[in-house]
A and B are shown apart, each in its own frame.
Chain A
Amino acid sequence: MVISDKAIKYGNNVNTDVIIPARYLNTSNENELAAHCFEDLDKDFIEKSRNSKIIIAGENFGCGSSREHAPISIKASGIKLIIAESFARIFFRNAINIGLPVISNPEAAKNIKDGDNIEVDLDRGFIKDITSGKEYKTNPFPEFIQKLIENGGYVNFVKAEALREN
């Protein structure tokens, strides 16, 4: 899969409270959640996300709560991919589980600038910054996680494999 879009850049330790504040967690509806995504970090996010669908961030993206509402609100906002220097572990799992691609690549995340045009080939494992002309190689996911992605998320994987074992 190739994802080609403009970048929105944020800093380190973007936490789940600013991705989707708890005051909106009285619902699980993805569109209601998306309407408040990043509200306390960047008031202009919804406007930006109309034309920019790749998030670039620093270290420890998604730290804090286990709320799956965080990646759900991002995905429902139309964001196609997040590239960060590193991810908090619960957020990383949640994103993979719901089929939101997340790539940990410190060099790319540091160098890509807000507004850059980015092209990412998930299968061949490279990130191309069309604006700056720089290319970055990504590490493949561990085999098990690849299997989850190939199955279209954890639910399908469980339906296909884990239950067959039982």
Chain B
Amino acid sequence: MGSQSNKPQTMAQKILAYHCGKEFAEEGEIVNANVDLVLGNDITMPLAIWEFKKVGLKKVFDVNKIAIVPDHFTPNKDIKSAEQAKLIRIFAREYNIKNYFEVGCMGIEHALIPEAGLAVPGNLIIGADSHTCTYGALGALSTGMGSTDIGMAMATGKTWFMVPKTIKFNFNGKLNKWVSGKDLILYLIGKIGVDGALYKSMEFTGSTISGLSMDSRFTMANMAIEAGAKFGVFNVDLKTKEFLRGIGKKESDFSIFKSDENAEYEKVYDFNAGEVDLLVAAPHLPSNVKKAKDLGDVEIDQVVIGSCTNGRLEDLKVANDIIAGKKVNKNIRVIIIPATQKIYLDALKAGFVENFVKAGCVVSTPTCGPCLGGHMGILAEGERALSTTNRNFVGRMGHPTSEVYLAGPAVAAASALTGRISIPER
């Protein structure tokens, strides 16, 4: 290893190597790595538990390194969902899982895990949910896997990875008014396509990224999977450290990894952030990106502001800035879902919730709910939603003939007022 230790590496290579006790991880190599957290939810965990039990162990590898978050169909939407939720609750009790989050202290997993301090820089995290890549915003490597992988990691504390190549995305320049992380990631997916980063690690850098809030970084990392990526990572900087201090972490609680200056990238993209408008992904792919201002004739039936992509305080603040003191269009339903109980409480204290209710919005307890067509806002035949969520595939939010347009919170809130896809007034 000695001769390889001087070879330049990307952040993804370094974090994977570190978790295998090696100096160097070769791209394309398959490594068996120790993981820091194994995550599952009420849809994926029942299957993972089933597979875990097949191994025949009495204990999980570490009761502190497993997180179970019933967030998709909770509060239970029907009897079958209730049975699934019950199964994982009983497992959590029987196996003494420390990080089980019951309804009431629950949040959408990818907003909750960072807030709970369970993801920190340098971590390697896997979850049975494709949006597990969200924690890349903190300079961690995290990715989604299926239930069998998660069940086996609960047994062994390890999983296998093929060390990915990295594509670098530089964003430089000043963001336009209302433009957020959601617009940047939609812009990028529009350029490279839904398989443009298949199997790759995406690294986001540049002056725009340095200036970007943590909430916007979480949004971008969250949608790396929508370009097919394994990881979507950001460098740790002052903003990351400020976030970590805010949740009570000390510098000694985490490790910072950074790509070497001369690391090899498969490709480097340079984007001018000043060219990025408020964007919308039209049905039925997240890469079908258009300028929101060009879609003013598109009438909608429902607006959703929430999800692991855009249900954080910054998103609710943007919505509040646009909606407060006004009434939403009487022909549409507007559903706002703070992503965690803490965000809900912060939004309440800031007066956002009262403003939303007065404007005619529904404010829901945290749940993935409508994003995946689960509950709390299913679309009927032929209906159309504008949503701050992450996928607009056929039938994603309900009936197979319904449509989903994806956007950031500013376009969603502006559209809530007009009933058509709209941008905020100047």
Contacts and interface: CB of A to CB of B under 8 A. Distances in A.
Interface of A: 13, 15, 17-18, 21-23, 25-28, 39-41, 59-60, 63-69, 71-72, 86, 88-90, 93-94, 97-98, 142, 144-145, 153-155, 158-159, 162-163, 166
Contact of A66 (B129, B151, B156): B129
B43 interface: yes
A64 B72 CA distance: 16
Interface in B102-130: 127-130
B148 A97 contact: yes
Most B CB atoms within 10 A — which of A40, A66, A145?
A66
A22 B147 CA distance: 15
B173 interface: no
B146 A94 contact: yes
Interface string B27-58: 00010100000000001101100110011110
Contact of B285 (A13, A26, A41, A162): A13
Interface stretch (B18-26, B176-184, B192-200, B294-302): B192-200
A83 B80 CA distance: 34
Contact of A64 (B43, B160, B393): B393
Going nearest first, the 3 A-B pairs with the smallest beta carbon separation are: A94-B146, A26-B80, A68-B146
Contacts, number: 143
Contact of A163 (B50, B127, B155): B155
B78 A154 contact: no
Contact of A17 (B47, B57, B129, B394): B394
13 contacts: A26-B80, A27-B84, A40-B394, A60-B228, A63-B194, A66-B129, A68-B146, A69-B47, A86-B195, A89-B199, A89-B230, A94-B146, A154-B149
A8 B398 CA distance: 26
Contacts of A60: 194-195, 198, 228
B373 interface: yes
A154 B152 contact: yes
A66 B110 CA distance: 14
Interface string B373-406: 1100010000000000001011110001000000
Given A89-B228, A159-B55, A68 B156 contact: no
A22 B396 CA distance: 8
A68 B395 contact: no
B228 A88 contact: yes
A67 B44 contact: yes
Interface in B236-290: 285
A81 to B, nearest CB: 19
B148 A17 contact: no
A83 to B, nearest CB: 17
A145 B57 CA distance: 24
Nearest to A156: B54
A97 B156 contact: no
Given A69-B47, A158-B55, A23 B146 contact: no
A141 B413 CA distance: 48
B292 interface: no
A1 B269 CA distance: 44
Nearest to B371: A22
Interface string B45-79: 01100110011110000000000000011000110
Interface in B214-234: 228, 230
A65 B308 CA distance: 13
B393 A155 contact: no
Contacts of B72: 22, 25
A26 B199 CA distance: 29
Nearest to A39: B400
A158 B393 CA distance: 35
Given A13-B285, A154-B148, A59 B374 contact: no
Contacts of A94: 145-149
B136 to A, nearest CB: 15
Interface string B146-165: 11110110011010101000
B44 A163 contact: no
A47 B18 CA distance: 50
Contacts of B32: 162
Nearest to B81: A26
Contact of B195 (A17, A21, A59, A158): A59
Contact of B395 (A40, A86, A98): A40
Given A28-B84, A66-B146, A153-B148, A13 B194 contact: yes
Contact of B30 (A13, A142, A162): A142
B366 interface: no
A158 B155 contact: yes
Most B CB atoms within 10 A — which of A25, A60, A163?
A25
Contacts of B306: none
Contacts of B129: 65-66
Nearest to B199: A89
B313 interface: no
Nearest to A153: B148
Contacts of B56: 159
Contacts of A153: 148
Contacts of B194: 13, 60, 63
A97 B149 contact: yes
A34 to B, nearest CB: 15
Given A25-B72, A68-B47, 11 more contacts: A13-B194, A17-B393, A26-B77, A27-B80, A28-B46, A41-B394, A60-B228, A64-B393, A69-B47, A90-B145, A163-B55
